[in-house]
Chain A
Amino acid sequence: MIRHVLRYPSARAACLILGVVAVLATAGPALAPHDPLAQDTAALLQGPSAVHWLGTDALGRDVFSRLLAGSTVSVLASLLSVAVGLLLGVVPGLLSVFLGKRFEWINLRLIDALMMLPFLVFAIAMTAMLGNGLVQAMFAVGILITPVFFRVSRAAALSVANAEYIEAARLMGASTASVIRRHVLRKVVPAVAVSAASMTGACLSIVASLTFLGIGVVPPDPTWGGLLATDLANLYDRPFGPIAPALLIVATVWALNALADAMRDTGTDNKEKPA
């Protein structure tokens, strides 16, 4: 699978970017040349220089260091949101196909209801009311993206649920659990993996939006979205300011989407290829 995916040039570029992001996320704070919280009142809103590669912000903090230090929180937050969404979405998604009409109806209505919630407003409301913090924000986003994983896993399970080989297994006396284990899981995992990759990107963007609004992260702690917010506030003084954090967010999200696309394409290629 991995070797097939890497045949795509875009997938190779995506992996390179994600590798860099992974390094930033794990070792970012250690790599930072300055203390991301240290204020230098002598150097406010500076442009890029040899000392401050990306300049300083309104409080004289080194932007480059804050960018590196913010990586861990930003990446971790989106990964954990996806984990919550996967946990809450995939299992009911699969079972809704196999556990009878009533279970299916209840699940579908719950998911419909989740999809009817105004996304960001609800995420904000939930985070704020549960006590404004990163864990709460991740939990809120995770719940809100649950429908995506529910639908993807349900669609994949549905596409095989009426397959004749599943009927054949049932006619040999196979139980639902054994049917899911032997026949269904294999078809669901690739589809879920694809949407997990693209949803990680989406969550990164959502978490950035939330932190941009000051939700989920307490102000002095740096995040990519928060940096962008302060940079936009100081647009007149440092018009180039938002470029670096915006670029970092866009590149990461693009890489995840490109990887998801490549995974999807290999999936369909393999299916279409006559054996």
Chain B
Amino acid sequence: MTAAIDSSRASVPDLRLGHAKALLRQVGSTLGIAVPVFFVATLITFLLGVVSGLDPAAAIAGDAASPKTIARIRADLGLDLPMPLQYLHWMGEVLRGDLGTSWFNGVPASELIFQRLPISLSIAGMALLAGIVGGTALGLVAGVRQGSRLDRATTLFAAVVSSLPPFVVAFLLILIFSLWLGWLPSSGYVPFSEDPAGWLAAISIPAVALSVDVVADIARQLRTGLVGELSENYVTGAVVRGLSRRRILFVHVLRNAAGPALTVLALKVPMLIGGAVVTEAIFNMPGMGKLAADSALRGDVPVVQGTLVVSILLILACNLCVNVLLGILQPASRRRN
């Protein structure tokens, strides 16, 4: 027998602990990145209001107000402070959950936003779900059956869809499902709590319209990932060991191939939440995107900033989830980073 080699740089519990620690470190570093990113993103949002040069004091005081009155209102609102202080002040309020009051109707911005949030979340969430399910299915088939007719059809689909603006897809879907077939409503929203079926009918066209783009991108990335991974040596190794095709694909290859698709998914979330603006406009739904667009055109700075802050938080949360998932699926990538 050959000399035994010393493999035990660490004992078993130590190693397990090491692996768990590595995962924790990954979560930690993701958070460590997310916090500065949150502050930079909100700073940009804040600066937007400053750069706009809009002054609420004049609007509140009315046309007849004296400069003195306006100055007093400005002081009340904290607008006479230096800009960094204004940001800190605003950030403090945001962190306490106070997004300010609408300059137009005096309603708290958070109230306006949370009234409309369920609508946007329904559409974006459903679009995300449809995108993941459809994209994974298409990508799997295309990746495993490279060069088959279905693979080419998927590639073509992805190419066509990625050149379609989402509102064109929405228009096509309305044409088919509302105007011709009359199955689904072409506008309006029904809360889930009132009528689940009606809710589903109302959001299905906008959600599907938003998701096609996600389906195409996920399918394309997953296909690329699969094609790359399937030519890796460890697949050959698994074949030699006598493992079944299904086991090799789902247990071994998929987790390693999912990287690019998951990354793209994280990048797509801002697009989904942003893209809801257009679909909400088309389907005439009073969602958060529509609120943001209307407020922006009215110059209602607190409401715009509020919607942006809420969106940024949602997007950061999604990114965090994707990163943790990647860390669990591919422990080796933790080491490489």
Contact = CB atoms under 8 A, between A and B. Distances in A.
B33 A129 contact: no
Contact of A117 (B163, B179, B278, B308): B308
A132 interface: yes
Interface in B290-304: 292-293, 296-297, 299, 301, 304
A194 interface: no
Contact of A122 (B166, B299, B308): B308
Interface stretch (B44-52, B55-63, B76-84, B94-102): B44-52
B140 to A, nearest CB: 22
Contact of A124 (B271, B292, B301): B292
Given A109-B40, A124-B296, A228 B179 contact: no
B281 interface: yes
A112 interface: yes
Interface string A233-275: 0010001001000100110011011100100000000000000
Given A115-B267, A208-B165, A209-B167, A125 B41 contact: no
A232 interface: yes
B165 A121 contact: no
B304 A129 contact: yes
Given A129-B301, A130-B51, A118 B315 contact: yes
B311 interface: yes
A110 interface: yes
B337 to A, nearest CB: 13
A118 B270 contact: yes
Most buried by B among A109, A121, A232, A254: A121
B42 to A, nearest CB: 9
A122 B293 CA distance: 9
B211 interface: no
A239 B304 CA distance: 35
A47 B38 CA distance: 52
Given A124-B292, A129-B304, A250 B40 contact: no
Nearest to A110: B40
B277 A113 contact: no
Given A129-B304, A232-B282, A113 B159 contact: no
Given A116-B312, A122-B308, A128-B297, A253 B163 contact: yes
A271 B289 CA distance: 45
A250 B315 contact: no
Contact of B278 (A120, A125, A253, A261): A120
Given A109-B33, A113-B37, A235-B179, A118 B165 contact: no
A272 to B, nearest CB: 14
A122 B164 contact: no
B144 interface: no
A239 B292 CA distance: 30
Interface residues of B, number: 50
B269 to A, nearest CB: 9
B103 to A, nearest CB: 13
B204 interface: no
A16 B121 CA distance: 42
A153 interface: no
A201 interface: yes
A213 interface: yes
A123 B179 CA distance: 32
A65 interface: no
Contact of A257 (B36, B159, B289): B159
B218 to A, nearest CB: 17
Interface stretch (B6-14, B64-72, B168-176, B239-247): B168-176
B54 interface: yes
Contact of A121 (B33, B36, B179, B289): B289
Most buried by A among B165, B271, B281, B289: B165
A212 interface: yes
B136 interface: no
Most buried by B among A122, A213, A225: A122
Contact of B49 (A129, A208, A214, A239): A129
Nearest to B267: A115
Contacts of B308: 117-118, 121-122, 125
A118 B45 CA distance: 11
Given A118-B270, A213-B293, A228-B167, A109 B275 contact: no
A211 to B, nearest CB: 11
Nearest to B166: A209
A118 B281 contact: no
Most buried by B among A123, A213, A225, A254: A213
Contacts of A239: 175, 179
Interface of B: 33, 36-38, 40-41, 44, 48-49, 51-52, 54, 159-160, 162-168, 171, 174-175, 179, 267, 270-271, 273-275, 277-278, 281-282, 289, 292-293, 296-297, 299, 301, 304, 307-308, 311-312, 315-316, 319
Interface of A: 109-110, 112-130, 132, 201, 205-206, 208-209, 212-215, 225, 228, 232, 235, 239, 242, 246, 249-250, 253-254, 256-258, 261
9 contacts: A110-B40, A112-B40, A116-B37, A120-B289, A125-B296, A128-B299, A129-B299, A212-B281, A253-B164
Given A115-B270, A117-B270, A129-B296, 11 more contacts: A112-B33, A114-B44, A119-B274, A120-B274, A129-B304, A208-B165, A212-B165, A213-B281, A239-B179, A246-B168, A257-B159
